[in-house]
Amino acid sequence: MSRLAVPKTYKLFVGGAFVRSESGRYDTHDGRNVPRASRKDVRDAVAAARSAAGPWAARTAYNRGQILYRAGEALESRAADFAVERGEVEDAIDVLVHYAGWTDKIAAVLGGVNPVAAPFLSFSLPEPTGVVGVVAPDDPELLGLVAELAPALAAGNTVVALLSEAAPLGGLDLGEVLGVSDVPGGVVNLLSGRRDELTAALAGHPGVNAIVDASGQPSLAAGIDELAAESVTRVRHSAPSALYAAAVADALSRLEAVTELKTAWHPVGA
Report the 10 Å Cβ neighbour count for 156. 23
Cα–Cα dist 99/244, whole Å: 12
pLDDT given for residue 248 in this prediction: 96
The rounded distance, in Å, linking the Cα atoms of 104 and 62 is 6
Query: Is 2 inside any structural domain?
Result: no
The answer to the question of residue 262 being in a domain is yes
Please give the residue that has the higher pLDDT: either 269 or 63.
63
For residue 18, is it within any domain? yes
Label residue 242 exposed, middle or buried (CB < 10 Å: 0-12, 13-18, 19+): middle
Q: Using 50, 70 and 90 to split pLDDT, how confident is the model at 178?
A: very high
Q: Is residue 145 part of a domain?
A: yes
Residue 36 is assigned to a structural domain of this protein: yes
> Within 10 A of 180 (CB to CB), how many other CB atoms are there?
12
Q: Angle, to 10 degrees, between the axis of helix 61-77 and the axis of helix 86-100?
A: 170
Q: Are 130 and 76 in contact (CB under 8 A)?
A: no
pLDDT on residue 164: 96
**Is 54 within a domain?**
yes
Q: How far apart are CA 78 and CA 93, in angstroms?
A: 11
Range of the domain at 91: 12-267
User: Cα separations (Å) of 55 from 5, 146, 251?
Assistant: 40, 22, 24
Q: Name the band, by pLDDT with cuts 50, 70 and 90, for residue 30.
A: confident
In a domain, 68, yes or no: yes
Mean pLDDT, rounded, of the chain: 93
How many domains does the chain fold into? 1
How many beta carbons lie within 10 A of that of residue 65, not counting itself? 20
Q: pTM of the prediction? A: 0.93
Integer Cα distance of 209 and 130 in angstroms: 6
CATH number at residue 217: 3.40.605.10
Instruction: Read off the pLDDT of residues 114-145 as tens digits, 9 standing for 90 and up.
Output: 777 778 877 678 899 999 999 999 999 999 99
In this predicted structure, what is the pLDDT of residue 4? 86
207, 131 contact by CB (below 8 A): yes
Q: Do 249 and 239 touch, CB atoms closer than 8 A?
A: no
Instruction: Give the tens place of pLDDT for each residue, 180-192.
Output: 899 999 999 999 9
7 belongs to a structural domain:
no
